[in-house]
Amino acid sequence: MKSIKNEKLIKRNATIGNWTSLSALVVLGLGMYISFTRSELFVYSLVALVLGFTLTQVGMYMGSRFGRSPRPDEKLDAGFKGLQNEFVMYHYTTPVSHLLVGPAGVWVVMPYNQRGQIEFKKNRWRISGGGFLQSYMRIFGQEGIGRPDYEIENEIRGLKKHLVKHMDESEIPEINALMVFTNENVELDADDSPIPALKLKQVKEFIRQKAKEKKVPAETINKLKSVLE
């Protein structure tokens, strides 16, 4: 499998994450200093604390996706490693963050790093366990799954809009989606999910099986690659 990455974007966002996290610490420290030493400036202290919290969230988001290794793109490359050379994984170079193209078709790949017990029941994703840190991250919106169906629908729509600018719509194969849980400490119960949801160690065999079931013609794949690259 070939992997194509937007290294410039990854490096830029990692730098933004580092500086944002550092700025958050400075702003939070300033807010606390004002609150302890200048009580008459309470409003300024409150503004600093809110701003610092916001910067912390941005820094955590950027850091988890672009700063700390192994990053999501590195984990996905490891999980899909071993697929034949006809497969190409695109990271941050197309309208979607992670895209797999090959004999199994076109797959929008959505990585999730949550740990604990994750299940899909009654049309809802639920997460439990994972310890105190994981619970904290979920409360503050960093580790919640949210609504993957909406997010994936928007991703597919954006990708198709891009492709129809360069290809006849009849040439575009079905665009599929795959949820991949990359954390080793995850227990997954998602048989009822309308979107395939798998652990990282399962994805390579899943894609191989899809290629056997309905192999996309090589000329179609080559046309897609020429458009995406």
Give yes or no: residues 88 and 16 share one domain. no
Strand partners, 201: none
User: Where a domain ends, among 67, 87, 117?
Assistant: 67
Give yes or no: residues 51 and 106 share one domain. no
Tell me which residue range forms the domain holding 221.
72-228
Give yes or no: residues 21 and 77 share one domain. no
Segments of the chain scoring below 70 in pLDDT: 129-144
Choose among 118, 89, 87: nearest CA to 208.
87
Give yes or no: residues 189 and 151 share one domain. yes
Give yes or no: residues 100 and 60 share one domain. no
Give yes or no: residues 139 and 211 share one domain. yes
User: Where a domain ends, among 67, 92, 123?
Assistant: 67
Give yes or no: residues 206 and 101 share one domain. yes
**Residues whose CB is less than 8 angstroms from the CB of residue 176 and which lie 6 or more positions away in sequence, other chains included:** 105, 106, 107, 108, 196
Dmax (CA) for the chain in angstroms is: 71
* Identity of the amino acid at 164: V
Give yes or no: residues 34 and 130 share one domain. no
Q: How far apart are CA 174 and CA 84, in angstroms?
A: 21
**Number of independent structural domains in the chain:** 2
Give yes or no: residues 168 and 55 share one domain. no
Give yes or no: residues 213 and 182 share one domain. yes
The continuous run of DSSP H or E covering 34 comes out as helix 7-37
Which pLDDT score, from 0 to 100, does residue 183 have? 92
Give yes or no: residues 96 and 197 share one domain. yes
- Cα-Cα-Cα-Cα dihedral sign, residues 178, 172, 207, 71: negative
Give the single-character DSSP code of 67.
Answer: I
Q: Could you tell me the end-to-end alpha-carbon distance of the chain, in angstroms, rounded to an integer?
A: 15
User: Where a domain ends, among 25, 50, 67?
Assistant: 67
Q: How far apart are CA 39 and CA 119, in angstroms?
A: 48
Give yes or no: residues 7 and 79 share one domain. no
